[in-house]
Structure formats: C-alpha cells, structure tokens
Chains A and B, each alone.
Chain A
Amino acid sequence: MIRSLMFLPGNTPNMLINGDTLGADALILDLEDAVSPSEKDSARVLVRNYLKNLKARKQFFIVRINSTDTDYWQDDLSEIIPVKPDCVMPTKVNGDKMLNKISDFISSLEKKFDIPEGTTKLLPLIETAEGVENAFNIASANNRIFGIALGAEDLSADLRCRRTKEGSEILYARTRLICAGRAAGVEIFDTPFTDVNDIEGLCKDINFARGLGFSGKLVISPRHIDYVNELFSPTEQEINYAVEVLECIKEAEKLGKGAVSLHGKMIDAPIVARAKQVYEAAYPSGTRL
C-alpha cells in the first residue's frame, strides 16, 4: 500500500542518503525540476550510483525523468534503467502516444540489459489540461502503468487559474483523474500540498483528497509524511466495522442466508466490497481473519 510519495532532489547527496529514513512509502528521485540544466548529467550519475549501492530497498523507488520535449529524457532513462528502479515518473504527460514512446524506449533498454520486459513500472504525472482530458487513455496506455499522479502547480499555469489552498480550481482535474484511474484499475495520487508549515491546511487537504478517492499523495516536505500516512490509512473504527462485515458475510454463507443485516442495516455488495478494500489496506498479508 503506497500512501506517501516523497520527492528528493536528485543532485543532493545529503537528502538522498537520508531519504530511506523519512518514513515515506515511496521515494521519488527527481531529475526534473529539482535539478538545474547544468547539473542534469551530474544528477543522473548520482541517482544511478545511489540506487546501485542501496543495501536493501525498503521503499518503492521512483525516478522522475525530464519531459519528452527536452533533450534529457533518453539520457535519464539510459542511465537509470540498468539499475532497475521500481518505477519511472514521466512528466507533463499529455496522452498515450507520449507514454508509449517512453515505454518503447524503456523496453529497448530492458532488452539490452537483460531485464525482463515490463519490469519497470510507470507513474505518469498529469499536469496539463490536455493530460487531464486524456487521463483514461494515459491510465490504460500499457501494462507498465502502476498509477497516475496529479501535478497541480504546472496544471494551474496551463489552466491560467489562480492556485488556492482550498483547491476548487483543481476539483475537476482531481475527480477526472480518480474516475480515469479507477476505470483503468490503477492507483491515483494527489498533488502535493505546497505550504510546508500549514499542518492544519495539509490535514484538511489530505482528508478531502482521501474522501474523493485518491490512493495517496505526493509529498515535498518530510514534515508532511506522517500526516499523509496516517490519514490515508483506515481508522480503527473503519477496520473494526470492515471485520464485522466480513465475519457477518462469512457466517451468512455458512448458514446459506442470502440477505444479512448488521446493526440493523442491510449488508449489500458495495458494502462488502468497501469492507474488503479497508481490510486489505489494514492487513496487506491477510492476517486477521
């Protein structure tokens, strides 16, 4: 279960080396915005060596590459695919054609370095109006797609809207991505909350995003990780109710009952499906029932 995905600048050894102690479920090693054009070469080599020398990979490792409208993206992939990151995050993804171009290039590298084809997953960052409109095509472009993520800062610039903490200007994009991602059967990750010091605003934003259906959230500050992890995890009350629902269904099946109720409420298929999701999130290895 991936709830928090923390960005780490690709050319800053101090942050890279301490990254795996921050508690994020996934680390995004950034070769794009966090690296100046004159240091792209340096960051690629550093990220490659960092991944190559990690003793144990406890997190899900993602590398954010430069967009296909730059001269950097192929060099980024050529350097990092041989050290097998779990996932690549292409940026400013507008549609499935762009994504398949990246996927084909990764396939050629996987073949060259004897890595089974499809090993490297993709988490496209959708941050343009065109990308939002093509969200389903992007989410279902190929079987490398592990999830889709929203980048609201670039999107706001593209939409020419005013970016607010409340986020009403990105509500359409958020819900569009959730529909697209769920329809394609992939995870959906929300845009980062950019005010590092506003914890109250952060929690409000996380709760809103979780309520909409996001799987987790991108994070730009280590201070935000614990809040994202906690608020994207099921509460004790939700877990207990899910267990009750699943036990109730099990019992009804034993007794051959078609319809069952719990605390006076009918338990129907959507409630069971939701209980299963909560249970799986709480017990990924299926230990309690």
Chain B
Amino acid sequence: MIKISQNAFAGTLESSDCLVTITPNESNEVNFEINSVVFKQYGNSILKAAQNTVKKFDISGADIKIQDMGAFDCVIEARVETAIKRALKGAK
C-alpha cells in the first residue's frame, strides 16, 4: 500500500463538476467527506463512485473531500483519479 504523503486537488466548483481535495492523515484509512447540492438524492452514488476509484489505487492514509456541484459519476471518478495521481506524484 502507498501512503499518501502530500496534498492534492482536482476539479472545480463550476456547475456539473466537483472539487476533490486529498490530504494525508496519520491512520491507514481512507476517509471520505462529501458536500453536495444533491446529497439527499445522490450522496450514496457519489460515495460509491469515489470508493470504486480509490480501489483501483493501492493507497492508504488519506482524507478525501468531495465538493460536488451536480457532477455525473464519470466526472467524480475522473476528478478523484486525477487527485490521487497528483497526490502520488513522486511517491515511492
């Protein structure tokens, strides 16, 4: 497992997009925080999209915050993937 050691973000706060921020934490867990204008209807779907993307990377020790502005799943997955790749840049 690769421990996240640096902050990174991807995406924007524009309509249909989301801003994903990754920060390292002291544990080995990956924690999610989701703020969404459609949280009641799509909160679970957003979490699932983010978790599925995280599974593709062998990472630990990260807090992932998603500020959703009504993004489709494919957009959330793209932004989470980019944020993880940026956080992993230079990691061994």
A47's nearest neighbour on chain B, judged by CB, is B78
Q: Is the pair A14, B74 in contact by a Cβ cutoff of 8 Å?
A: no
* Alpha-carbon gap, A50 to B78, bound state (A): 9
- Can you list 18 A-B contacts (CB < 8 A)? A12-B14, A12-B17, A13-B14, A13-B71, A14-B17, A42-B10, A42-B11, A42-B78, A42-B82, A45-B78, A45-B85, A46-B75, A46-B78, A46-B79, A49-B74, A49-B78, A50-B78, A53-B72
The answer, yes or no, to whether B63 is at the interface (CB within 8 Å) is no
10 other A-B residue contacts (CB within 8 Å) besides A12-B14, A45-B85: A13-B75, A14-B17, A41-B82, A42-B79, A45-B78, A49-B75, A49-B78, A50-B78, A52-B74, A53-B73
Given A13-B16, A14-B15, A41-B85: A53 touches B74 (CB 8 Å cut-off): yes
Within residues 1 to 38 of chain A, which ones have a CB less than 8 A from any CB in chain B?
12-14, 17
The count of chain A contact residues (Cβ–Cβ below 8 Å) is 13
Query: How many Å from the CB of B43 to the closest CB on chain A?
Result: 19
Contacts of A17 in B (CB 8 A): 16, 72, 75
* Alpha-carbon gap, A251 to B71, bound state (A): 60
Interface string of A229-263 (1 = CB under 8 A from B): 00000000000000000000000000000000000
Contacts of A48 in B (CB 8 A): 78
Within residues 60 to 105 of chain A, which ones have a CB less than 8 A from any CB in chain B?
none
Contacts of A13 in B (CB 8 A): 14, 16-17, 71-72, 75
* Alpha-carbon gap, A262 to B81, bound state (A): 65
Q: Is the pair A45, B81 in contact by a Cβ cutoff of 8 Å?
A: yes
A52's nearest neighbour on chain B, judged by CB, is B74
* Alpha-carbon gap, A17 to B71, bound state (A): 10
Given A14-B14, A14-B17: A45 touches B72 (CB 8 Å cut-off): no
- Using CB atoms and an 8 Å cutoff, list the residues of chain A in contact with chain B: 12-14, 17, 41-42, 45-46, 48-50, 52-53
Interface of A is mostly: helix
Counting from the closest, the 9 A-B pairs by CB-CB distance are A53-B74, A14-B16, A49-B74, A46-B78, A49-B78, A13-B16, A42-B82, A45-B78, A13-B75
Query: How many Å from the CB of B67 to the closest CB on chain A?
Result: 14
* Alpha-carbon gap, A14 to B78, bound state (A): 14
* Alpha-carbon gap, A13 to B82, bound state (A): 14
Contacts of B65 in A (CB 8 A): none
Residue among A41, A49, A50, A53 making CB contact with B86, cutoff 8 Å:
A41
Query: How many Å from the CB of A13 to the closest CB on chain B?
Result: 4
* Alpha-carbon gap, A41 to B74, bound state (A): 16
> Most A CB atoms within 10 A — which of B15, B75, B78, B86?
B78
Query: How many Å from the CB of B79 to the closest CB on chain A?
Result: 7
Contacts of B81 in A (CB 8 A): 45
Contacts of B74 in A (CB 8 A): 49-50, 52-53
Interface string of B4-22 (1 = CB under 8 A from A): 0000001100111100000
Within residues 47 to 65 of chain B, which ones have a CB less than 8 A from any CB in chain A?
none
> Most B CB atoms within 10 A — which of A13, A42, A45, A46?
A13
Query: How many Å from the CB of B66 to the closest CB on chain A?
Result: 14
Contacts of B77 in A (CB 8 A): 49
Contacts of B11 in A (CB 8 A): 42
Contacts of A14 in B (CB 8 A): 14-17
* Alpha-carbon gap, A46 to B75, bound state (A): 6
Contacts of B73 in A (CB 8 A): 53
B75's nearest neighbour on chain A, judged by CB, is A13
Query: How many Å from the CB of B57 to the closest CB on chain A?
Result: 13
* Alpha-carbon gap, A37 to B11, bound state (A): 14
